[in-house]
Structure 1
Amino acid sequence: MANAQMATDQGHPGHDRGGIEEIVVSAHPGGRSRFEILQGTSVLAGEELARTLRSTIGDSLDGLPGLSQTSFGQGASRPIIRGLGGDRLRILINDLGTFDASTTSPDHAPAVDLATARKVEVIRGPATLMYGANAIAGVVNVIDDRVPRALPENGRVDGQFRTSYGTNGDEVLNSGALNANIIGGLMAHVDGFYRDAGDFKAPGFLRSDRERAANPLASGESEPFGRAENSDLENWGITGGLSYVGRHGFLGASVTRLDNNYGIPVELEEEEEEGGSTDSEAGGEEGVRIDIEQTRYDLIGEWTSDFLVFDQARFRFGYADYDQAELEGGEIGTLFLNDEWEGRIDLDQIAHEGWTGTSGLHLRSRDFEAIGAEAFVPPNETFQWGLYSFQSYEIGPWHFDAGARLDRQDVQSDNLGVERNFTGISLSAGASYALRDGYLIGINSFRTERAPNADELFSNGPHLATFTFELGDVDLGEETVKGLELNLKKAGGPFEFLINGFYYDYSDFIFERFTGEEEDGLPVAQFTATNARFYGLELEADYELWRAGEQAFSINAQLDFVNAKETASDTPLSRIPPLSFTLGSDYESHYFDVHIAAEYAASQKDIGEFELPTDDYVNLTASLVVHPFEERDISLIIEGRNLADSDIRFHTSFLKDLVPAPGRTVRFILRAGF
């Protein structure tokens, strides 16, 4: 683990780094430190968030333990946790969804950007009690101040500003946020960002050695090298919010506008049209581009005074109108429309003799439609509701957790005349024991049912982003997973570590199986159910070798791996990340910090059907963070990634053999908080 995440900073105010005692509200309804939580967690904030910030949320979080990414070019990438992604992983903004089409296809970017985020919390493993069965893989919760929750420390204004330039693709990012106390407790908030990046440069050939050998180009065609054409992007967002902050809580609302336009750096279709031209020829040289527009409204409130048997109530509601156009030569090929809302109420009980708890109601509605050439899913509507209760009891060094959730999902397609209804139960129980000298050992068990979504039930058409013809199955039932997670942790002193081991046993795990047939020139992938098992390990460790006043030098290490196979046949599942190991060192002082790390990702040879192996790689990173002014939260950051210019191909990506990750990149960042 990077020392910036592990060790609590004791120096310059600009450090703002989360440690092992960092409170994580996403994993536990009442909020609990990383040390106490019986799941793997990570927190990014302050300088660490600025240093890891990329153009996509998947790329920004890749490198955290247990996380990988879908990596669909520079413009689209979702996180993957422990080999699970898509509709099993929820990306949230202040506890509510992103209201987009990103779970439908890996070329669809989530409607979220970390440029104005205050903190990102990652939960590895089921977070189903608070967020429903669609969070069975985990949760990424982006926390920002779009609705101000507290008065500025100086009573008037606070905020942040960030500007950066990246050498690979000439990426420019400017962002800022401001909270102002207008009068009394009436707070106003505004934030915004603008990002522009050209085509990125790869270390060598865009296609992998295996792909070039298996599918050589026609005579006279030149092999793409270096520049990944049509990988550029331009996006921006702006938010305005108002809230009233009083002695017993706050209530406020915000409006956000997000625009995102990016290219797909591969040709997704080459079907011949009448007249002998191909789609790519007919579309000109622009290639396929994605144009996303979203307008989002949020209403957030908290009450922090005792009432009945509760001492706190939290209310969240969000609605968004989302449009995504897939442009082929400037013309709309497919249009995705999504109207979605989500609301929740969470009530915290008054603590009594070591007993605490939270209960809640959660509602979610989605109206989705795809129109055009890639409308492989018919129009559909989904409504979900859930009731949950999470209880904790602490006595001496022992801590016990137990919880239950009831979920209901109704999904229908009027075009098909089909409606399916599902009822699921999620249960969890855990216990931990605090040993001497800062050690803690814990175990957490769970059972969760997830209903199939509309894509898995109703798909019937070509899905060019995944190079398949997808077929749903309207008769699919719920998938059930039972699992265990074991924890051993050490906090305090020069040596700190976190170890998480996990085992998942799936019944009726839903995935796409190739049938061996072809439709429209594409292999047919049928959504089906099988039994599967996942197991793995995540380790983070930090050892402080030397400290003298505000100066310190430490070494840190991180390891994670996951194994996922069908139970009966022992056949590996597709796109499972390989074992990775990171070794790094940190020097910290009052005026500057230096971080150097090398990540080794092993080759992946445990592959699914119709999948190619992926070679190993080394990703060398380094950063210099300078704090030029005493007692000022101002940082100058120089950060380099893939400094060895390695050919990095993520096994989790559909594009891994067609385009690699960007080559050597150096970024210059100015960050200021006030």
Structure 2
Amino acid sequence: MNPSNKIKLSVLLTIAAFPALSYAEDVQTGELPEVTVSGKRPAQSGSRLDSGSKDSLDILDGQKLKSARSTSLGQTVERISGVQNSSFGPGNGTPQIRSLGGTRVKLMENGLGISDTAAFGGNLPTAVHPFMADKITVHKSSTAVLYGGNAIGGAVNVETGQIPDELPEKNWTGKAEVSGGYNTPHTELLSLDGKIGKIAWHVDGINSKISHYRIPGNSKADACYNSVGERHYFPLGKACQFDVQYDFFFNKGYYRYVMQNYLDRGEAWRDMMGLDYADIYRTERPQWGNWAENPLYDPSITSGKGQTVKSITHITPNEHGKLTNSHQHTRNFSVGASYIGSQGYAGIGVSRYLTDYGMPGYSFLRTRSHLDGSLPTNISADQTRWTAEAQYRPNNNWLDNVKTQLAYTDAENRELLADHFVSSIDSRSTQLRVELNHKIGSLVRGSAGLDWKKRRTGGEGIDRLMPDTQSQSYGIFALEKLNYRNWEAEIGSRIGRVSHTPNFNGFKPMRNYGGSLENKQYRYSLNSNQAALSWKPFDAWRIGIRHSRSQRAPEINELFAANRHFAVFANESGNTDLKKETAKTWELSNEFKWKNSTLKAAYYHTAFDNYIYLNDSGAEVEWMPLRYWQQGDTKIRGFELEFTHLFDLNRAGNLEARLFADLVKNYPAENHSSCSPEDSRNREKWLKCVRSHNQGKYMPAMPTSRYGIGLEWSKGNWLLGSSLTRHTAQKRRGRAIYEEPNLGGYNIWDAYLSYTRKLPKDLTLEWFADARNLGNVEARPHNSTLKYLAPLPGRSLRTGLRLNF
């Protein structure tokens, strides 16, 4: 296993002497015995070398993870500056890093990718429960060199300890937790670790369930009703899950002039000529025809024609105090074992993940399944994952370790209307990763390796989103880091290829599908690079600059989607002409540490070539909006600030304070707000015009700016923490045909309290209380797909006991 570093602690002689300086005459000197401490040096890896490990990497572990844990991965990491939760209801959410998410943020469990299908739409689950995590690592910069194009916007790795890499000290140990409360799931958790000779083993499991969530107000946003009666209103009506019926009116007395023939011959003549009243009545006398003064003209009438709301039919109810269809039941179980040798380990593991939950607010009136009525949409997911992992650490001056990981994942995601099956997205994937982590003296450390993945995506049901597809990808990468005095340099590169092969046989696409139906292979060659340099003018200050050029291939839903998609509540059409997208990012960072204070600041700017996005067409099919995958150049820029200080309160304990702020802008590289019919002759320019008209100056559904404060006090067995975060109203709103409405800002106040008590026989019992949204405010994140239908849950309190043994 890991070689031991034996350190002579002669420095203890100096430390021990400090208290005695002023009492030298009274103290008899003596010679302290030599003390040797043995420790295990952590294995080198590519993720440890990445410059993000200093500039844009955040780690949740220990107490930070305990107080941040939530029902979804997105909610768990959303307090990190620059990271927000792409919410799809209270039980499901994925991390959104600097406005990027989905297929651009790599989600991993123990270093290998998870939840491919969750990236296709936020309604599908991320098959790892945050409560099972020992540590969560968030890379906020592109990690495409290490993990491929799906990490073009960053990566999140959840470490669960499923496959042990060392022997535990005791023959067996573990933890058990039971929690529940108001407006929160009841949860039971058990985790065990142990050893039998040189075999280390791990077992864990969790059960979590809730019937529904409570909210402070109505489930549907007030903004849904602000524009009722306007002509452009219908897309927002669909997003708000109701249908508006209008009465149309025409006031003849508003118009000063009328056709003489109509006055003479009446309605029979109008019907014969096929004319509307708008053709017959005018406010100004035309220069043509025979017009007369209107005998019904009344100058006091202020409106000539228009529409009034006749009725509003809710597809899903607008409930007060309760979030519609927000039930959830999740079970997760895993087991792993390893053989631990003197120079490494080898192990295997298997896990099961099952979840059933509702999509709040979503219902459908019409499907190809011919189901009648307004039926809520539910998800039932089942995943089995087999993993194997081995690491060899030779006693070699240049090779630190060789690590190999292998995983096979079988996932089934069923979409239901009420209890009726309508479609599924199933995935079977095999992935392999090999890393050779090396060093050259004390100056150079590096990681070189390869990864390979093969995936079969299929499904059943007449309403399924896309055809069966086979995908394959591979990459070869190298990342090298040089340390010299107060300078640190880094360079890395990756080459790879991605291919997708659809099988449209037996699949019935919607009639508006805009892609090819040919069963051929689509190939994309990718090349990603990164370089970084940092300098420490003095010990307390570090300045860094980083540049990356990353490429991502289109995903299968972007290419071949050809049906209604419950996740985006639209008829989604893929585009087989899509090209690979390229992101060029510059990042500047500063870190200042002085005594108990740390100040971090980062600014980033990304220019995307051929950024892939889902565009609203303005049309609808069978009551649902029609949306097409398209691409165009896009820019992203923003900043992050974070300040922390630890106050030593002496006998009153310690108090840690944190201040943070972040901002991100995501917008088209060119704005063509004024276009003429002549521009349609130039296809490239016309697509930019359509994008500007349909989506506006900014990309829609983007995260808002935030700032906040956090305090954490600890003394002895007690810990008390609280945070207050201001989510500002979105000033940079885009369009989805209609102008995105202002949903307002809101403040989220959370608190955490725990008391830990040591018991006999090495037992530790912890009581905790975790309160969220203490102000019970109505919060609708602008980046949430469900923002018009499902606000964040209201005030909640989770309390429980945690036993470590």
Identify whether the pair has TM-score above 0.5, normalized to the shorter chain. yes
The residue aligned with 1:212 is 225
The residue aligned with 2:493 is 404
Q: Return the alpha-carbon distance in structure 1 between the equivalents of residues 414 and 168 of structure 2.
A: 40
Give the superposition deviation at 1:318. Answer: 0.5
Q: How does 1:421-432 map to 2 (within 5 A)?
A: 421-432=523-534
The residue aligned with 2:749 is 620
The 8 Å contact of residues 39 and 485 in structure 1, kept in 2 or not, is answered as no
Of 600, 608, 620, the residue aligned with 1:518 is 620
5+ residue gaps, structure 2: 1-40, 229-236, 244-310, 505-516, 672-695
Of 212, 231, 235, the residue aligned with 1:199 is 212
The 8 Å contact of residues 273 and 279 in structure 1, kept in 2 or not, is answered as no
Q: Return the alpha-carbon distance in structure 2 between the equivalents of residues 319 and 87 of structure 1.
A: 20
In structure 2, the CA distance between the partners of 1:100 and 1:585, relative to structure 1 (3 Å rule), is same
Q: Secondary structure, in 3 states, of the residue corresponding to 1:596?
A: strand
Give the superposition deviation at 1:307. Answer: 5.4
In structure 2, the CA distance between the partners of 1:353 and 1:620, relative to structure 1 (3 Å rule), is closer
Of 413, 434, 438, the residue aligned with 2:502 is 413
Give the superposition deviation at 1:182. Answer: 1.2
Q: Secondary structure, in 3 states, of the residue corresponding to 2:223?
A: helix
The residue aligned with 2:268 is none
Is residue 238 of structure 1 aligned with residue 333 of structure 2? Answer: yes
After TM superposition, the structure 1 stretch with the greater mean CA deviation from structure 2, 296-305 or 488-497, is 488-497
Q: Return the alpha-carbon distance in structure 1 between the equivalents of residues 576 and 524 of structure 2.
A: 12
After TM superposition, the structure 1 stretch with the greater mean CA deviation from structure 2, 540-549 or 78-87, is 540-549
Is residue 646 of structure 1 aligned with residue 790 of structure 2? Answer: no
The 8 Å contact of residues 422 and 464 in structure 2, kept in 1 or not, is answered as no
Q: Report the structure, 1 or 2, having the larger helix content.
A: 2
Which protein shows a greater Rg?
Answer: 2
Q: Return the alpha-carbon distance in structure 2 between the equivalents of residues 220 and 110 of structure 1.
A: 34
The residue aligned with 1:17 is none
In structure 2, the CA distance between the partners of 1:165 and 1:274, relative to structure 1 (3 Å rule), is closer
Summarize deviations over 1:519-541 as a string: whole Å, max 9, x none. Answer: 23222211111111101111121
In structure 2, the CA distance between the partners of 1:299 and 1:160, relative to structure 1 (3 Å rule), is same
Q: Secondary structure, in 3 states, of the residue corresponding to 1:87?
A: helix
Is residue 530 of structure 1 aligned with residue 632 of structure 2? Answer: yes
In structure 2, the CA distance between the partners of 1:50 and 1:353, relative to structure 1 (3 Å rule), is closer
Q: Secondary structure, in 3 states, of the residue corresponding to 1:317?
A: strand
The residue aligned with 1:4 is none
Q: Secondary structure, in 3 states, of the residue corresponding to 1:466?
A: coil
Q: Secondary structure, in 3 states, of the residue corresponding to 1:462?
A: strand
The 8 Å contact of residues 587 and 602 in structure 2, kept in 1 or not, is answered as yes
After TM superposition, the structure 1 stretch with the greater mean CA deviation from structure 2, 198-207 or 108-117, is 108-117
Is residue 586 of structure 1 aligned with residue 712 of structure 2? Answer: yes
Give the residue type in structure 2 aligned to 1:244.
Y
Q: Return the alpha-carbon distance in structure 2 between the equivalents of residues 344 and 273 of structure 1.
A: 42
Q: Return the alpha-carbon distance in structure 2 between the equivalents of residues 174 and 291 of structure 1.
A: 21
Q: Secondary structure, in 3 states, of the residue corresponding to 1:628?
A: strand
The 8 Å contact of residues 99 and 320 in structure 1, kept in 2 or not, is answered as no
Q: Secondary structure, in 3 states, of the residue corresponding to 1:130?
A: helix
Q: Return the alpha-carbon distance in structure 1 between the equivalents of residues 119 and 748 of structure 2.
A: 28
Is residue 110 of structure 1 aligned with residue 212 of structure 2? Answer: no
Q: How does 1:134-213 map to 2 (within 5 A)?
A: 134-154=150-170, 156-169=171-184, 171-183=185-197, 185-213=198-226
Give the superposition deviation at 1:493. Answer: 1.2
Q: Return the alpha-carbon distance in structure 2 between the equivalents of residues 234 and 357 of structure 1.
A: 44
The residue aligned with 2:281 is none
Q: Return the alpha-carbon distance in structure 1 between the equivalents of residues 190 and 572 of structure 2.
A: 42
Q: Secondary structure, in 3 states, of the residue corresponding to 2:600?
A: strand
Give the superposition deviation at 1:549. Answer: 5.9
Q: Return the alpha-carbon distance in structure 1 between the equivalents of residues 539 and 444 of structure 2.
A: 25
TM-score by length of 1: 0.91
Q: Return the alpha-carbon distance in structure 2 between the equivalents of residues 376 and 319 of structure 1.
A: 24
Q: Secondary structure, in 3 states, of the residue corresponding to 1:576?
A: coil
Q: Return the alpha-carbon distance in structure 1 between the equivalents of residues 47 and 621 of structure 2.
A: 51
Identity over the aligned pairs, expressed in percent?
Answer: 24
Give the superposition deviation at 1:612. Answer: 2.9
Of 459, 462, 468, the residue aligned with 1:370 is 459
Summarize deviations over 1:54-86 as a string: whole Å, max 9, x none. Answer: 111112222221111221123321111111011
Name the count of aligned residue pairs: 641
The 8 Å contact of residues 38 and 443 in structure 1, kept in 2 or not, is answered as no
Q: Return the alpha-carbon distance in structure 1 between the equivalents of residues 403 and 436 of structure 2.
A: 7
Of 545, 548, 555, the residue aligned with 1:446 is 548
Give the superposition deviation at 1:479. Answer: 0.6
The 8 Å contact of residues 66 and 81 in structure 1, kept in 2 or not, is answered as yes
In structure 2, the CA distance between the partners of 1:373 and 1:24, relative to structure 1 (3 Å rule), is farther
Is residue 251 of structure 1 aligned with residue 346 of structure 2? Answer: yes
Q: Return the alpha-carbon distance in structure 2 between the equivalents of residues 534 and 556 of structure 1.
A: 26
Give the residue type in structure 1 aligned to 2:210.
A
Q: Return the alpha-carbon distance in structure 2 between the equivalents of residues 257 and 535 of structure 1.
A: 40
Q: Return the alpha-carbon distance in structure 2 between the equivalents of residues 192 and 556 of structure 1.
A: 34
Give the superposition deviation at 1:130. Answer: 1.2
Q: Secondary structure, in 3 states, of the residue corresponding to 1:456?
A: helix
Summarize deviations over 1:162-215 as a string: whole Å, max 9, x none. Answer: 22113105x1111121111112x1122211110011200001011111013345
Of 592, 597, 604, the residue aligned with 2:730 is 604
After TM superposition, the structure 1 stretch with the greater mean CA deviation from structure 2, 510-519 or 420-429, is 510-519
In structure 2, the CA distance between the partners of 1:48 and 1:30, relative to structure 1 (3 Å rule), is closer
TM-score by length of 2: 0.76
In structure 2, the CA distance between the partners of 1:272 and 1:192, relative to structure 1 (3 Å rule), is closer
Q: Return the alpha-carbon distance in structure 2 between the equivalents of residues 349 and 555 of structure 1.
A: 39
Q: Return the alpha-carbon distance in structure 2 between the equivalents of residues 589 and 244 of structure 1.
A: 40
Q: Return the alpha-carbon distance in structure 2 between the equivalents of residues 274 and 303 of structure 1.
A: 54
The residue aligned with 1:8 is none
The residue aligned with 2:477 is 388
Give the superposition deviation at 1:605. Answer: 3.0
The residue aligned with 2:57 is 41
Summarize deviations over 1:375-426 as a string: whole Å, max 9, x none. Answer: 2221111100000000011110000000000011011102231311111110
5+ residue gaps, structure 1: 1-22
Q: How does 1:345-356 map to 2 (within 5 A)?
A: 345-356=434-445
Of 417, 424, 427, the residue aligned with 1:335 is 424
In structure 2, the CA distance between the partners of 1:551 and 1:404, relative to structure 1 (3 Å rule), is same
Is residue 225 of structure 1 aligned with residue 314 of structure 2? Answer: no
Q: Secondary structure, in 3 states, of the residue corresponding to 2:361?
A: coil
Q: Return the alpha-carbon distance in structure 1 between the equivalents of residues 158 and 543 of structure 2.
A: 29
Give the residue type in structure 1 aligned to 2:459.
A
CA RMSD of aligned residues (A): 2.3
After TM superposition, the structure 1 stretch with the greater mean CA deviation from structure 2, 635-644 or 379-388, is 635-644
Summarize deviations over 1:257-301 as a string: whole Å, max 9, x none. Answer: 1110111121331228999x8442xx4xxx221111111100011
